[in-house]
Structure formats: structure tokens, C-alpha cells
Amino acid sequence: MTRPRGRPPQGQGMARDDILTAALALLDEGEGQGLTMRALATRLGVTPMSLYHHVGDHAALLQALSERVYAQVLEGIDDLADAKARIRALLTRYHQAVSRHPQLTMAIFDTPEAYAGITCQITQRLTSLLAQITPEPTLWCDILVDHAHGSSLALASARGDPAQLRALQHRQQQALDVLLSQFPKG
């Protein structure tokens, strides 16, 4: 089930992208701590140490995963007309990203290295957008981001129950609408 010992022939080595895909699948399927270096290695038909050449250690793996998942959140935001539309799009995408991979939020939050990278960009962008529509941009950034994270925890603990999961997603969309309706030109 594992590979021969030496350097693999040209183009036969593992692709970093395939590792991340498998890791994400493992995270989504698994109860609690499904994503371990050893389980990931087994799934890829490889020795655990082999992973360290491609993704670094466990923290680096989670950081790479979070970058992949949250990359789309900020993309194309500037094409939208006004600040409020941009804010709504950014938060909607953030919620979507988070609700597609509920376990990722948990995993990221007990891996400070992984946490720092992503959310910094998102919160900075969000804060500067909020500054255009409210005198309290950092306060509202906290409220909105904390809400996203909290609701992602709720999704994580509703794993395995698709009906409850959809109900939660619907309520969270409503919650986002309510929060955003605080601002003028709603």
C-alpha cells in the first residue's frame, strides 16, 4: 500500500493540491479529530513523514487548508457597487465557506498559526468597508465576525444531521440580514 523507497519518477510524486483535497475530505467526514497526519498518510497510501515534505507539520497543513477555503471570500468584492453590498457579499461568502467545512473552524481556532493568517485579511477589509457606513467600524467588525464564528460552531455540532444543518443555515442567513439591517440604506 505504500510506495517504493527512493525518489519517485518524474511526475509521479504527490501533488500538494491533492494532499489538501484529501485533508479537507478527511476533516469533513470525520467526527471530531478526523484529520490526523497518520490518517491522511494512510488515505494517500504513503508514510506519515512523507507529508512533511509537502505541507510541513500539522499546523502548516491547517494554515494551508484555511487559505484555500477562505481565498474566495475576498475575491471580486470590489466589482460590487456600494460598501453595503460589498459587506453583505463578503459576509455571505464567509458564512458559506465556514458552513461548507464546519470542522475547519474548530481546527483553525486551536491552531493559532493558522488562525492569524486568514482572518487578519478578512477583518481588515471588512473594517475598512464598515468605516464607510458606520462610526463604529471595529465594534461592528467584531460583532459580525464573532457571529460568523459562533454560528460555525453551531454548524459543527450539528454534523451528521442534514435537516438540522439546513435549518441552521437558513436561520443564519436571516440572522445576517437582521444584523445588516441596522445600517441605513438597507
What does the alpha-carbon distance between residue 118 and residue 122 come to, in Å, rounded to a whole number?
A: 7
What does the alpha-carbon distance between residue 186 and residue 183 come to, in Å, rounded to a whole number?
A: 6
Q: What is the contact mask toward a second copy in residues 10 to 39, using x (rule: CB under 8 A)? A: ----------------------xx------
CB atoms within 10 A of CB 40: 23
Q: Which does 11 bind (CB under 5 to 8 A by kind): a second copy, DNA, none?
A: none
Q: Taking the complex as a whole, how short is the minimal distance between the CB of residue 182 and a second copy, in angstroms? A: 8
Cell numbers at residue 113, please? 498559526
Q: Is 7 one of the binding residues for DNA (CB under 7 A)?
A: yes
What does the alpha-carbon distance between residue 133 and residue 111 come to, in Å, rounded to a whole number?
A: 33
What does the alpha-carbon distance between residue 84 and residue 129 come to, in Å, rounded to a whole number?
A: 8
Site for a second copy in 103-162 (CB under 8 A): 106, 109-112, 115, 136, 138-139, 142-143, 145-151, 153-154, 156-157
Interface with DNA by CB under 7 A: which range of 6-14, 98-106, 118-126, 150-158?
6-14
With CA atoms as reference, report the closest residue to 62 among 4, 101, 9.
101
Chain residues that interact with a second copy, rule: CB under 8 A:
32-33, 106, 109-112, 115, 136, 138-139, 142-143, 145-151, 153-154, 156-157, 171-172, 174-175, 178-179, 182
